[in-house]
Amino acid sequence: MNILTPQQMSACDQETISTAVPEILLMEAAARGTAEYAVEIINKEFADCSISPNKLKITILIGKGNNGGDGLAAARILKNWGYDPLIILACAQSDLTGINQENLALAKYYDLLIKEFSQISAENFSEIIQSSNLIIDALLGTGIKGKLRGNFKQIIALINKNRTKQNQQLLAVDIPSGINGFDGSIAGQALQADYTATMAAYKRGLLLYPGRDYSGQIKIIEIGIKPTTIKQKSDGLQLFTENDALKLLPRRRNDGHKGSFGKVGILAGSVGMTGAAYFSSRAAIKTGSGLVYLLTTAEVEQTVASQLPEIVGHILKAKSGHIAETALTDILEFSSQLDVLAVGPGLGQSKAIKEIITALLKNLKLPLIIDADGINAITDLNDLRDYQGELLLTPHPGEFAHLIGKDIADIEKQRIEIARNFASQYNLNLILKGAATVIAGKNQTAFLNQTGCNGMATAGSGDVLTGIVTALIGQGVSVFEAAALAVYLHGRAGENSALKLSDFSLTASNIIDNLGSLFKKLEIESC
């Protein structure tokens, strides 16, 4: 599902208007979709309310741009459906132009109550907001730049101050006012929506934090722009959905054997970090791997095998509780029988690990996943570009900042662009973890993930992801698609865990425990 920038959405609008559909028809479709969503919200949120639906107090806040035009038309449609919304204009009526003036005239014709904000006292406006059951925000669209000014700043401040928690919902048109449609940043302050009706496609600012926290439940409103137009104007960024997961989930043959479902290797663990080896190995097993080989020290192997007898241990030479540089030849030879190798969880940051990572990048050809301490051990970025097989890196922002020499804050501001450019520049696949995880491929292809919860910010969670993606690659899913699918599954399993236990109590083990029921659900839905 395409994700657009404000500029790309504008290009879709302009092409549609210039070739086929009058602008007023696009606006009418947007308004009708918004009104229908408003009724859906009313029926859902106020079904048990003692107030009859047509007696609910609906306040629609109108700006002077196209977003405001959508709101004016939606107000008229709601009026014709038996509701009685109040329109509050952020500007003077005379400031409205073009189609918005036409929609204002129609609103007057249908006897809607219209007020200008400048003619309402702050006390009266506050009372209106406090008594409103449904507030529809059609003040500002996705094109906002810089800080809020004038009436918009005052209106948003008063709404935020006077919103009530009971019997009140806020529906944003296209994007909550105050949220930047490109990067999700806040223009000083923003409206907190419970629901957002966004036109034609997802906007980046709705899905990137902090904007995502302000957007509530998002519904795409079809307004008449052709899917081919959206695809042509997009830059290839996609939202990974359940439909994508169902298409990519490996199909298990009835006549398969353990070799059919992947011989995967996990190079992990050291003294004091046994858990990383355990979590990544167990996650790979629970994601369907036929054979999971744990390449590690004797001490780590003994501990993990006592809790996870399904692994096949391969003991490496060690020094002071860490894998020794002298184990390199053994690792290279053993890897020849594997379908995929994951390297990094809990390895520590010794000089030997740096030498091993460098040698693996120079000598292996099989799909290689580098995570955690493995990423920190990379000494030359050119080794990544020169790798002869498929390569996947899975850093969190701190590891990525260390790798590329940038501040975490700078990465978070442009996580999509930086991830895509890095993957393209070094001819690899990348999972840049975070609240809005980016999965970037070699050719500027990219997915944005929206599954997961804050409870997953816990020790071992990243190791679980490594195990999941390793297992999927071992079962024949392409590296880029396996990365996207793994992130989605990891997040869904985390969400399901939190529903049962709460975010406070979620652990890495809980995520693994919920993989089985998630796979069962997806298998049923794919039938």
Annotated binding site for AMP: 433-437, 462
3-state secondary structure of 282: helix
Largest Cα–Cα distance of the chain, in whole Å?
85
Residue stretches of the annotated binding site: 66-70, 137, 141-147, 174, 177, 276, 346, 396, 433-437, 462-463
Rounded Cα distance, 481 and 453, in Å: 22
Task: Give the span between the Cα atoms of 82 and 96, in whole angstroms.
Answer: 26
Do residues 417 and 395 touch, judged by C-beta distance below 8 A?
A: no
Summarize the annotated binding site for (6S)-NADPHX as residue ranges: 66-70, 141-147, 174, 276, 346, 396, 463
- Joined together, the tokens standing for residue 125 give 């406006």
Listed in sequence order, the residues at least 6 apart from 161 whose beta carbon sits closer than 8 Å to its beta carbon are: 126
**Phi, psi for residue 474 in degrees, rounded to 5:** -60, -25
| Amino acid making up residue 157 | A
**What distance in Å separates the CA atoms of residue 494 and residue 360, rounded to the nearest whole number?**
32
Backbone angles phi and psi of 144, in degrees to 5: -60, 135
Q: Are 176 and 205 in contact (CB under 8 A)?
A: no
Q: Residue type at 142?
A: T
Known binding positions for K(+): 67, 137, 177
Classify 521 as helix, strand or coil: helix
Phi, psi of 131 (to 5 degrees): -90, -5
